[in-house]
Amino acid sequence: MSSYVVSSSMDINSVSSDFFNACAMMHEMINELYESLHDTYGNPVLDEKQILDLTKEFKNKMRLELDMIKSSVHQHLEENAKGQV
């Protein structure tokens, strides 16, 4: 769901940029979740099935962003390890 790609060359600035992008996406997703938890009149959604579906989708999207953060670090460490061998 992310609109960005993990950088090809993982220097420290690239890792930081990936962190920023992932966190910005998560922030946007939190705003979208909050909006989705309310109807068009601003009343909270009280349908348990709808809430379950919304939170399930939200968790899956958040996990993708968290995985992107871990992948960025892993790629950076792998590339630096190759230079030390």
Render pLDDT for 44-73 as a digit per residue (tens, 0 to 9): 999 999 999 999 999 999 999 999 999 999
Give the pLDDT score at 7: 47
Which position has the higher pLDDT, 72 or 4? 72
SS3 sequence of 12-79: HHHHHHHHHHHHHHHHHHHHHHHHHCECCCCCECCCHHHHHHHHHHHHHHHHHHHHHHHHHHHHHHHH
What band does 83 get if pLDDT is binned at 50, 70 and 90?
low
pTM: 0.80
